[in-house]
Structure 1
Amino acid sequence: MRFDVLTLFPELFDPFLRVGVTRRAYESKQVDVRLWPLRDFAEDNYRRVDDRPFGGGPGMVMLAGPLERALAAVKADRAITHPGAPAVIHFSPTGRRLDQALVRDLAQGEGAVLLCGRYEGIDQRVLDRHVTMEVSLGDFVLSGGELPALAMLDALTRLQEGVLNDAASHQQDSFSDGLLDCPHFSRPEVLETPEGPVPVPPVLLSGHHAEIARWRREQSLALTLRRRPDLIEAARREGRLDRKDEKFLASLTVPPAAKASPDGKV
């Protein structure tokens, strides 16, 4: 996979590409991330990439000229290793919400050009000419597209073969089967706290794999029902719930309290 990132702040990406479990994919070019500083495509001495909007109003707009030149350079360079028109993704509140289903779809492709806007936005003519998909992290506004680009890269990279130490790890993440992940526990078996000892759920120490699997499934169902009931309905529509699942959900007259897992996956 190859991702070409057009950004005013390439320095934001460097630490991300050098740390964590995903760094191996970036170092080996299994996921090839190339940064294109937009100011390199400005033509004046001030390397200007923005100007006031026509019609007035606050803020500045990213100029079409530098973006057009940058996109032309990226597409010409990509044609050497990845023939064909690339997907061009623009990060915008108007875009499709980034979710695991979209991540899985994109993870099967050859990458994309990631267009990171700033200021009040990008000249609409550039978006109309080049962008094939707009993506949003949610209903809030960020200062630019770099953080969404980083989030997308991380989500896509961890799905690539061999990136995670355990190949089954991402298969058990939240949303992998349409539900939130179950809670997780590790040593010590009993955590001593000022409020008293807090043990690990006994079933996890039983060594009975079928019972452990069922406990985890029920914890996942209970947590999802409490935090994201919409996911339960979606799983039901898609036929992801079996009779045991439905029986357990029916027993939950009041969604039980559940703690988020320590790794933040829920």
Structure 2
Amino acid sequence: MRIDVLSLFPDMFTGVFNESIIGKAQERGLLNIDVTDFRPYSDDTKHHTVDDYPYGGGEGMLLKPQPIYAAMAALNQAHPGKKRVILLDPAGVPFTQKVAQDLSKAEHLVFICGHYEGYDERIRNLVTDEISLGDYVLTGGELGAMVMIDTTVRLLPGVLGNDQSASHDSFADGLLEHPQYTRPADFDGMAVPEVLTNGNHQLIARWEEKESLRRTYLRRPDLLKTIKLTHEQQDLLWEVKDEEANQATD
């Protein structure tokens, strides 16, 4: 995969993109990332202005279309081909694991990071996707782009040490991930559930499924309204509800 980011603050990405999973993916040739400062593409050769006051009045400054159009033209010339161009914007669709899974199938992603009050509306003509990190406002799109890129990159084949790891993450199947444990088996009187130590993989798989449902039911019951459970999952969920109800009355 190739990822390009258009930002007024490219230095913000240095640590994030050169460390940990993303850094290792680039070292192994699984990923190419470039961050471009679009300020030099301004046709204002003296001051390199990239923003201006909005027509009709209003607070704040808007990013002008010209610098971003020029930066995209240069990018298309250097790397022709189909691209998913993502605009980081509060009006976009909410970013979810499902959106990340969709983005991970693309060969070339471009993230446009806004700043100031917003964008000139004509910039939207360049994009294929408008995505929001959540229902809050950041100073710019840089932090949102970092989160989206990190979430997407770890889904690429070969990026994680075990390709199955991502498939068991929270939200991968709509549910929260089940509790996990490591050594020692008993820490300060807190023991690992016995089922996880007996080597019966069928019972372990059932326990993990049930505890994933339990955690989702207790912490994010809203998620259960958005996914279609199998018959086995429905039976396990009923068990969870009975156990939790009995515990509440004890």
Q: TM-score, normalised by structure 2?
A: 0.91
1:153 aligns with 2:145: no
CA distance in 1, matches of 2:243, 2:132: 30
Q: CA RMSD in A?
A: 1.8
> What SS is found at the alignment partner of 2:36?
strand
1:241 aligns with 2:230: yes
Partner of 1:219: 211
1:111 aligns with 2:111: no
Partner of 1:33: 33
> What SS is found at the alignment partner of 2:227?
helix
1:191 aligns with 2:196: no
Q: What is the 5 A alignment of 1:61-72?
A: 61-72=62-73
> What SS is found at the alignment partner of 1:226?
helix
1:60 aligns with 2:52: no
> What SS is found at the alignment partner of 1:21?
helix
> What SS is found at the alignment partner of 2:148?
helix
Partner of 1:95: 92
Native 8 Å contact 1:22 1:164 kept in 2: no
Q: How many matched pairs?
A: 244
Aligned residue type for 1:241: T
CA distance in 1, matches of 2:161, 2:71: 37
Aligned residue type for 1:229: P
User: Which structure is higher in helix share?
Assistant: 2
Deviation at 1:209, TM superposition (A): 1.3
Q: What is the 5 A alignment of 1:145-184?
A: 145-184=141-180
Among all aligned residue pairs of Structure 1 and Structure 2, give the percentage whose two residues are the same amino acid. 38
Deviation at 1:255, TM superposition (A): 8.1
Give the alignment partner of residue 238 of structure 2, picking from 246, 250, 253: 250
Deviation at 1:254, TM superposition (A): 6.7
Deviation at 1:45, TM superposition (A): 2.1
Q: TM-score, normalised by structure 1?
A: 0.86
Partner of 1:44: 45
Native 8 Å contact 1:6 1:35 kept in 2: yes
Taking a change above 3 Å as real, the CA distance of residues 133 and 222 of structure 1, as seen in their structure-2 partners, is same
Taking a change above 3 Å as real, the CA distance of residues 138 and 254 of structure 1, as seen in their structure-2 partners, is farther
> What SS is found at the alignment partner of 1:232?
helix
Partner of 1:122: 119
Aligned residue type for 1:93: P
CA distance in 1, matches of 2:224, 2:53: 47
